[in-house]
Amino acid sequence: MKNYRNVMSDFLICYELGNWDNCKELVNDDIVLESTLAGTHRGIEEIKSALQLPKEHNISNMVITNLIHREADGHDIVWCYMHHMTGVYQGRQLFPLIYGGKLYFDICNNRITNIKFELGYEYGNTWAMNGIWKFYEETKNTHLISADALRLGGETRGLRDLVNRFFWSVDHMDRVLFQKLCSRDVEIIKSGIDSSIYKKDGVFDVDRYLRFEKDFYEQNLYSIHIVDESDIDPFHKKITCWHLSPGRPGTKHYGANTIYMQFYDEIIDVEFHRDKDGWKIGKVIFTAKSNQAEYSPKFLML
């Protein structure tokens, strides 16, 4: 029996491969797509037309990260980040179009009723979709996805859910969510950064920290790949993440030998402690370290 993850994966694979034969069983008849990239469309035929990639594109690599799931009135609601590399591979030469952003699914009875997408960055061969899609500079002030529900509950959903919501709060400068997830004396340590720049009178200041991150990663999503979870002691735990960096032009490049390679720029250790209100983030350590890993599937949900 399908669950929401299967439905999401199957739909995105249909899109990625341009093969929509099995898509009708995944969506409602009146499904709506709202996208800063492709516009608003109702019904699967309109959506297929809006998302159609050039027929010359013969290579693809898609990765989904930071997945957060909630249930509401019989619906599965999912927030996540999507990164997609598509393009032409010919004669050992790769001509890629790379883009990514925030993705939202509303699924009821294993059928998708609503999809929303907010573009966060793009680079590469954008000319391939010139005049068809609207790219970041045209749409960066348009916001379609609300995550107010992420401020509610969630304490019993596990530390991975807490980590994903933490990075969502950073990306969205969501002060309320950040303070809900972190202890008052949370410590943020970043390689090569003097932490005093986000302190006020020597004390950590949430607003200064969130502004710093937004300025530094304006067009990047804090996409993370959780690679380890460990117990420090009964009251302290740690999750280690790799910071995925597909949207950082000039630092990493896709080529003929790296089509299925994922690149990482940081190791992030998130430390938790348990208090009377449950698990809280007490320290986050960002260590600059480049890494890469090759994955064989064309579609990857981390």
Cα 302 to the chain's mean position, in Å?
Answer: 10
* Per-residue pLDDT tens digits for 202-220: 788 999 999 888 776 665 6
Per-residue pLDDT tens over the stretch 251-284: 456 666 777 778 888 899 999 999 888 899 999 9
Per-residue burial over 49-60, b = 16 or more CB atoms within 10 Å of its CB, e = otherwise: ebbebeeebebb
Nearest to 138 by CA among 118, 154, 109, 161: 118
Q: Which of 27-36, 170-179, 188-197, 289-298 has the lowest mean pLDDT?
A: 289-298
* pTM score: 0.90
pLDDT for res 255: 67
* 186 contacts 283 by C-beta, under 8 angstroms: yes
**pLDDT over 80 (residue 294):** no
Q: 191: buried, middle or exposed (CB in 10 Å: 19+, 13-18, 0-12)? A: exposed
With contact defined as beta carbons under 8 Å apart, do 290 and 263 qualify? yes
Residue 246: pLDDT above 60? yes
Q: Could you give the CA distance from residue 50 to residue 33 in angstroms, rounded to a whole number?
A: 9
Q: Is residue 101 scored above 60 in pLDDT?
A: yes
273, 282 contact by CB (below 8 A): yes
Residue 40 has pLDDT above 90, yes or no: yes
Mean pLDDT of 17-28: 89
Q: What is the per-residue pLDDT for 198?
A: 83
